[in-house]
Structure 1
Amino acid sequence: MKHFELPSAMSAYLHTSRLLFESDERASLGTGTGFMLNHHGKAILATNWHVLTGREPLTDEPTGECSAKPDHVVANVLIQASVPGMVASAQIPLDLYDEHGKSLWWVHPQKGRAYDVALLPIKAPSDAVFFGYSANEPDDPATLSVTSDVSIVGYPYDLGERMPFAVWTRGTIATDPETDFESDPCFLVDARARPGQSGSPVILHWMPHKPKTARHKLSPAASDPETELLGIYSGRINDQSDLGRVWRRSVIREILAGETRDDYTWD
């Protein structure tokens, strides 16, 4: 098999839908990106709250022209194949609400949907081995500054229908990364991101033999690629700007620690 960078296989192409009234057919409502997390041996799908609901988190207004709410998402992911060194495509269907109409995803234990991040536990076949990120703080995290290069790894438009591996979009950090934007735990990146990339992981990725600038020192070059998860991309701040919001990985860790289900309901 041809070589690929591991983060290309760690993002998921998401397709949301809703069951039509008095029908077995589904109406397609939207697409987006998510990524897999490894959490105490469990697989967790990370994405944006607005990707799963089709709503703006603060106003509950529709994000597009359609006002229908999704009740289902299919995560198109890559998993480890039975043949060593190979990957296989898998479609993981996931309900978004329980039998009482209550949402199944986790949100921030204090801020809820105000932080546009949602984590959905996955019930997948026991033999499915996902490529997942860790949201833990690295032992020696990289030093970030304004103009640091980052990668947004996701599926703009409908590219997830046309290729299994995610697309890498290059961006630069546009605000001081340790300074909150609008008093929220996020920072801005300047990137030519497009619809469908909401929910993408934002990462640093070092190729072999390239030194890593860690927080305290210049680390020697590794013999294998290294990746550090910085956070989750949630779209541009407005349609006329290339500036987009990145929720820090600390938000993901706090959601994982709380395991707080959203109180959002489906109707």
Structure 2
Amino acid sequence: MNEVKMINHFSVSSLFVEIMFNEVILACGTAFYYCCDGTIYLVSNWHNFSGRHPETKKPLHSQLAVPNKIKVYGHNLTDLSIPELHIYNLLDDENGCTWFEHPIFKSLIDVAVLPVPKSNLNTFDISSAINAIDPYGNSPVEVGDSLFVLGFPFGISGTYNFPIWKAASLASEPALDQENLPLLYIDTATRQGMSGSPVISYRRRTIMCGDGQRCWSKFHSTFVGVYSGRITPKDQLEAQLGKVWKAHCIEEIIKGASSPVFL
């Protein structure tokens, strides 16, 4: 009999992606699914979907190529060890973007969402959407809390394409915005390939036992936001701070349904 292996829900939700022009791989990163009003969206960074720098709008690729497809390495519904590949178009037949950016801040918020075609909805479990994972209730985060960035540093993954859980700590007050944007800072040494990773708080909670003694049981889990890269230090001795866009940005983008236009 095959041994049953228990896999964390969040490990299933974080997905390795390749950003492509036709069949040419331009870059790799991380993405995840998000469910809103019965529609599934693929969420990642603006710079992943566009292949451009979010401030200058210039192509990031050395050959100035920009992507028109994204390949998602998902998991089979009945056997998580079997890869389930999906390729989504980032551009339509007229080279218009099929994905959405923030309706107000545009690329200044480095988050983008791609509606998943309805024909693909029967190929993955809706419960793998990041906001459907809440088995034990949310717990508010505070500055100094331990967090995890679930991604693929340098394209490295765990067995069966599950993400690496990179430890971090919340380095700014969550009630405040940084740079006048819905942005948090985290203290962590992240690497290329983790752009678009979900950032979560995942910690044990205490419950009162029948004899009045506290004991550890299960977990609080909170989806905090979307990782999008580091604040580049001048040298290796400086603090390594990462940028995390607050979770509420995703539904603002979905409701705004604003597609970028590149001239």
What TM-score results when the alignment is normalised by the length of structure 2? 0.84
Equivalent of residue 6 in structure 1, options 9, 26, 42: 9
Aligned to 1:237: 231
Deviates more, 1:72-81 or 1:166-175: 72-81
Identical aligned pairs, as a percentage? 26
Give the aligned CA root-mean-square deviation in angstroms.
Answer: 2.8
How far apart are 1:37 and its partner, in Å? Answer: 0.7
Aligned to 1:149: 146
Question: Could you say what secondary structure the match of 1:116 adopts?
Answer: coil
Aligned pairs (5 A) from 1:218-257: 224-238=218-232, 240=235, 242-257=240-255
Quick one: distance in 1 between partners of 2:89 and 2:169? 35
2:167 is the alignment partner of 1:170 = yes
How far apart are 1:202 and its partner, in Å? Answer: 0.6
CA contact (8 A) 1:10 1:78 kept: no
Equivalent of residue 134 in structure 1, options 126, 131, 136: 131
- Greater fraction of residues in helix: 2
CA contact (8 A) 1:135 1:229 kept: no
2:184 is the alignment partner of 1:190 = no
CA contact (8 A) 2:139 2:221 kept: no
Equivalent of residue 18 in structure 1, options 3, 17, 21: 21
How far apart are 1:222 and its partner, in Å? Answer: 8.7
- Residues 17/49 of structure 1: CA separation in 2 closer, same or farther (3 Å cut): same
2:89 is the alignment partner of 1:89 = no
Quick one: distance in 2 between partners of 1:247 and 1:133? 15
2:53 is the alignment partner of 1:53 = no
Quick one: distance in 1 between partners of 2:62 and 2:132? 34
Quick one: distance in 2 between partners of 1:119 and 1:106? 5
Quick one: distance in 2 between partners of 1:205 and 1:143? 11
Deviations 1:22-66 (A, max 9, x none): xxxx22100000111112222211000111222111101233534
CA contact (8 A) 1:135 1:253 kept: no
Question: Could you say what secondary structure the match of 1:257 adopts?
Answer: helix
- Residues 29/185 of structure 1: CA separation in 2 closer, same or farther (3 Å cut): same
Question: Could you say what secondary structure the match of 2:161 adopts?
Answer: coil
What TM-score results when the alignment is normalised by the length of structure 1? 0.83
Count residues with an aligned counterpart. 247
- Residues 98/59 of structure 1: CA separation in 2 closer, same or farther (3 Å cut): same
- Residues 161/17 of structure 1: CA separation in 2 closer, same or farther (3 Å cut): farther
2:115 is the alignment partner of 1:121 = yes
CA contact (8 A) 2:14 2:150 kept: yes
CA contact (8 A) 1:107 1:261 kept: yes
How far apart are 1:127 and its partner, in Å? Answer: 4.3
Aligned to 1:39: 36
Quick one: distance in 1 between partners of 2:244 and 2:55? 17
Unaligned runs of 5+ in 2: 208-213
How far apart are 1:67 and its partner, in Å? Answer: 1.6
Deviates more, 1:46-55 or 1:195-204: 46-55
CA contact (8 A) 2:197 2:227 kept: yes
How far apart are 1:142 and its partner, in Å? Answer: 2.7
Deviations 1:142-186 (A, max 9, x none): 333321111101111122496411110010111112221111111
CA contact (8 A) 1:198 1:235 kept: yes
How far apart are 1:78 and its partner, in Å? Answer: 2.2
Deviations 1:171-210 (A, max 9, x none): 0111112221111111100111110001000101134xx2
